[in-house]
Structure formats: structure tokens, C-alpha cells
Structure 1
């Protein structure tokens, strides 16, 4: 397709056509999930010499590892809860939503959870599940990073007899060798934070922990991070919005500059615009 052929379309026509294409894509995606489910259940991929649906999707259908995993997981979940097919087709649920919901869905709660996840982002659904199914805090774990070996991908159909793998053994996408920050909601008020920091930053955290000593309620370094984040926010807001703990108009009650915004007004604006309360609560 020559993309330059779209140049004759007006802005409204482009927006209209894009919405129509996305709608068709959702319908096609739901149909693809149904086909994956039907190929997967009787293990039709084995007839083609592949040990798993995952290998078939990657080697024959040329999906990426992440794409194959997500579609297979969504297809199996939709086969168990058929309402998902229609929800994907009409855009109420995206594939990431189905994958996130999958471990929590039961015959008893499926209708409620699917409705609650309608038109929500992945992050919003993770918060929804954390509030509905709270988990305990993760234990503190510090480990040094080393280079991870590159993943060994299968090179095609297995020679000779194919040994079929259980569905539960379908490989998941391999993590990147360069870790990124990850936030996992645990409950309405707690999250698990996984990230990588410089050794110097870690030493600073430990030093701050030693300086605070008995001021800390626990020996968990998470409390040091919480205190540090609160201090950073206070300092940054003070610099950006003239925020202070004092009330009043300050030393100068007015300004000759008509565009000048008094500090008291700035404070009121940022207090109203803060996404969470002063304690970090989402409520």
C-alpha cells in the first residue's frame, strides 16, 4: 500500500477511517483468538511437527514471542469464558486486559470482573485486582546484576516423533537482559517496586538508614525510600510552586507585574491538582 495515497483525505476522513480500521482489527483479533483456541485444544500443531502452540505461532505464523504468548493465553482464557470473544471484538477488553485477568477469573466472578475491566488500561485493571485480591508485601531482596544469556529459540519442527508438551509448559517471553523498573500493585495502599539502581545510590540508602536509626519503624529499606520520596516531593513542589508550610501572602502582598501569580494562589492550585493525598494514598 502506498501510504502517500492518504494525503488526499481530510482530517475528519482520516479520523473516521482510522476508527473503522481499529474496529475491524478488533473483530479480526477476536476471530483469530477463536481459531487459536480451536487449533490449540486438539493439538493440531503436532500434525505439522511442532511441540507446542507457542512454537507453531512463532515459527509458522511468524509472531514475536510476546505476541504469541499473549494471544495463546487470551485464546485459552476466552475458550473457558466465551464472553471474552465478544468483549474483544467490540473493544471493551484489549488482549493485555484478558492476560492480566486470566489468573483471577472463575465461574463465580467472571461476569463482575469482565464488566469492571471494561475500557480500562492495564494499569487500572492491576489496581482493580489489587483492591479485590490484596496480597502481602514482598520481602526485601537485594541482588547484584549480571549479564543474562540470550534466549535459545527453537529452529523449527522437531525431527522424527514429536513429543507434545502440556499446555502449562508453553514458554513465556524471556525477560530483557536490561532490567527496567516494574511496579506491581499489591493492595489498595501498597505496591511492589522492582528496579535497578547504581551501587552508589544503594550505599546512600543504607547510609540514610543508619542515620535515621531508631526513627524508622522497621529495618526495611522501603521506609527509607518512602521518606526520601516525600522529602523530594516537598522540595520540588516548593521550588516549582513556591510551596511553603506558612500561610498568608508572604513579604510582598502585591506585584507591579499584572502577570504575576501570588505564591498563595500557586499553592492553592497545586494542592487541588495533586493526584493523591499528602500521604500518598490513592483515595
Structure 2
């Protein structure tokens, strides 16, 4: 039987098989780490003609440089703290968690940190480490990156395959070394900071790093227009913010933006007035939006078959439990906040996946035609 065939699975069977394969992968990863650790301890790589365990993993086992570094580092940490292998095998810690915890583990705190990091994402472990090992605030800085007159040469691309940072300007304090807090260093050199005239889409995303309880470091790349807006805002806030602190400007700007967006999306206001009469069956009165938002707590209300409520807080939309097309009313009782994925899922459950796919294709085609006819 083809091990890659999936069409014969029912929905439920596919989910169960996926979980079984993940459990097998957890166990296999833990066993792999134990073997790497022992080969490394015995220095068996030397007899095979390699000067390091990393070299053996790359050239004999055909790992990528990054995968070799991660596994050798995790294996050495697990050799010192064997409980990590059990946690990986059980699926309580992923490999990234082991690498993030590694610089902070001691015989006195290992069990507590492993327990605290169990089943946590990378972002959650970042926050955990910031709580247990707080760091000072970062110094603020606004730094321009020199422009390159010529395209980026191929030789400038990092051998590791990591994206090159491309940006005309950036707001950044020098971010702390990741291997000192929640991260891990690679065995290759960092990517060069390159800046052509246009911001390339391959540039890394902005970075927010937990530093201490309720304190975060921010690194972000700006285009010229955003940079000029920032400088203008700092100038206009000169009396309230004599030091020109970027964090103060950012906080005030976000307060204004969030208030504006909440008013537009949820009709949020400190002084609600009478709602306008409905102009169509799909129109949602402002008062109803406010009630639904307050009840659902700015979070997707969809609950899966397992009883788990979706945690999404982005791309939220108002969804009619009983569709308007079937006589559903625009009331707080018939409305809920759901993320876009679960809005589409609910529509497919009601009208059928084929029907909704056809409707989406028609809407997509109409959008293309409209853009083509625009002057």
C-alpha cells in the first residue's frame, strides 16, 4: 500500500492518523537525539574522517547546516539533562523549545522549566523566559541603512539559505543575542544587512521580543514615508515628549489607530446614540455590533467538535448563525464573531463546499473584470 496515499481516509480517520504520525515523529526525534549524543560523546565521527559532529551530520547524514546545528545542540543539552528526551518523546517539548531552554537550564531549575514550557509555542516560551530571566530595556535608536547602487550579487546571499534583510531604514535598538534569551545561535555568520532602492518582499518581518514582565523589544524596518511620519510625530509631540522617545510616539499613535479601527469595525464609542434604521436584511445596527463584540470578547466564537473554541483574534467577521438567505435575522442572538476561516467553514457546512467554491470563483472573476475596466 502506498504510504503517501490519503484519499481513502475519512475526515476523522485522517485526523487520527495524523496525530499517530506526529506521536511517532516525537519518539523518533528523541531517539535520534540520543544517538547523536552518544556518537558525539564517543567521538566516533573522528574515525569516519570528520573533525566535528556537525560536519558528520552535514556530510555523512546529509542534514542541512541548520538542522545539524539544532540537533547536535539539542543532543548535547539532552545528554546533560536526560529528562528532555522523555519530554520530547512524549510530545511535551518540541525541538525549538529544547534549544530555547538550553542556555538557562541548571540542575536546580531543569524540572521546573520543562514543566512550565510543556506544550507551549515559541512565543509563549519567549514570554516564559522573559518572566524568569528578565533583561533590561533596549536603548532606542533610529538608524539609516546605506543604499546599494547595484543589485545584490549572488555571492552576498547567505549560504545558510536564510533571508537577507532588505530595508532603506529601520527603527531598532540592537536586539539582544538570542542565545542569551530564548533563542539559539547558528553556526553560520549572520545575514548581511543589505538595502537596495526597493524593499524586497523577502525581508524578515518585524520582530517583537519579550525582555521582562510587561516589557518588550521592537525591531522594525521602515520605508522613507513612514520614517518621515515618525519624525513629524516626534516633532509635534515635542512638548509632551521632550526626549523624543519613539516608544511614546508609537503608544500614542496606536491608541488613536486602535480607537479609530474599533469604531469602524465594531461601532465602539463612549457615547452611543440611536442606531440608524436597517437599510437591508444584512445591515448590522451599531448597537447590535457592540453587544456581539462585548459578548464574544474580540475572539472567534467557533467551537469545534472536540469542544475547543477557536483562539483567533485576527480577521474577525460577523456571521449569521441562521443565514440571511434562509430567513435569519440580524439580531445579537443570531450573530457571532468568527474568524474568516470559520466563516467560510460555516458557509460550506450550510450551502456545500462546491457551491461556495463556485461563488468565490465568481466573486474573484468579477473583481478582476472590475479592475481591468477601471480607467
Pairwise TM-score range, normalised by the shorter structure: 0.7 to 0.9
Asked whether the equivalents of residues 179 and 195 of structure 1 are also in contact (C-alpha less than 8 Å), the reply is no
Residue 75 of structure 1: SS of its match in structure 2?
helix
1:214 counterpart (225, 239, 248): 239
Residue 213 of structure 1: SS of its match in structure 2?
coil
Distance 1:142 1:58, change over 3 A: farther
Which runs of 5 or more structure 1 residues have no equivalent in the other structure? 154-169, 276-283
Distance 1:51 1:231, change over 3 A: farther
Distance 1:171 1:8 in 2: 42
Q: What is the CA RMSD across the aligned residues, in angstroms?
A: 2.6
Q: Where does residue 104 of structure 1 map in the other structure?
A: 104
Moved more, 135-144 or 236-245: 135-144
Distance 2:242 2:294 in 1: 28
Q: Where does residue 52 of structure 2 map in the other structure?
A: 52
Which runs of 5 or more structure 2 residues have no equivalent in the other structure? 147-151, 161-184, 193-202, 300-375
Q: Which has the higher strand share?
A: 2
Q: Shift of residue 35 of structure 1?
A: 1.0
Greater length-normalized contact order (CA 8 Å, ≥ 6 residues apart): 1
Distance 2:159 2:8 in 1: 47
Distance 1:255 1:151, change over 3 A: closer
Q: Where does residue 225 of structure 1 map in the other structure?
A: 250
Q: Shift of residue 268 of structure 1?
A: 4.3
Distance 1:81 1:4, change over 3 A: closer
Q: Where does residue 235 of structure 1 map in the other structure?
A: 260
Residue 235 of structure 1: SS of its match in structure 2?
helix
Q: Where does residue 267 of structure 1 map in the other structure?
A: 290
TM-score (structure 2 length as normaliser): 0.62
Distance 2:143 2:276 in 1: 54
Distance 1:222 1:16, change over 3 A: same
Distance 1:174 1:16, change over 3 A: farther
Distance 1:80 1:59 in 2: 26
Q: Where does residue 80 of structure 1 map in the other structure?
A: 80
TM-score (structure 1 length as normaliser): 0.80
Asked whether the equivalents of residues 140 and 221 of structure 1 are also in contact (C-alpha less than 8 Å), the reply is yes
Distance 1:171 1:121, change over 3 A: closer
After TM superposition, list the pairs within 5 Å mapping 1:88-167 onto structure 2: 88-145=88-145, 149-151=156-158
Q: Where does residue 68 of structure 1 map in the other structure?
A: 68
Q: Shift of residue 173 of structure 1?
A: 4.8
Distance 2:50 2:141 in 1: 39
Q: Shift of residue 50 of structure 1?
A: 2.6
